Structure 1
Amino acid sequence: MSTSLLTKPQMRGLLAKRLRFHMIGAFLVSIGVATAYKFAVAEPRKKAYADFYKNYNAAKEFEAMREAGIFQSVQPKGK
């Protein structure tokens, strides 16, 4: 009667082995998410701000808001 013996489970160093595997995986996932955020969110946002301020005229916007009566301390021209 030939029976095959089951191999003993690895107990010594199991935590270190599993932790090493999961730390590498977590690091790679975090690098991937950071890269995706940079190119999907941050770069388009910086480009949108740069495009907006390329032709932005603060004095013209101030005059438009003053004429609309938004400010309490500044009277519209002509009054």
Structure 2
Amino acid sequence: MNMHKSKGKQFDEVIIFEGWPVVVKGKMVANLDWIVPTNLIEAASSQHRQSFRVSVMRAKQRTTIVTPRVDPCVLLLVGET
């Protein structure tokens, strides 16, 4: 269920999955499922932050965030946001 369909609901666990990155010749070139398009801190608007916060707050007990190791979500970087 996407975030918009889950409006007003709570779940025991929420899993946020940023999708599989597109890798060409061993180098990541794109990820169409990033929370912040282009995955740049400068592109992280208040709307992206709010959507991420709402998604996390849907969980009653735990939230699992799956993000690529080679280029993690900029909203998860400590001291960057």
Normalising to structure 1: TM-score of the pair?
0.22
Structure showing greater radius of gyration is 1
Give the number of the structure with larger relative contact order, counting CA–CA contacts within 8 Å between residues 6 or more apart.
2
Normalising to structure 2: TM-score of the pair?
0.22
| Structure with a larger share of its residues in strand | 2
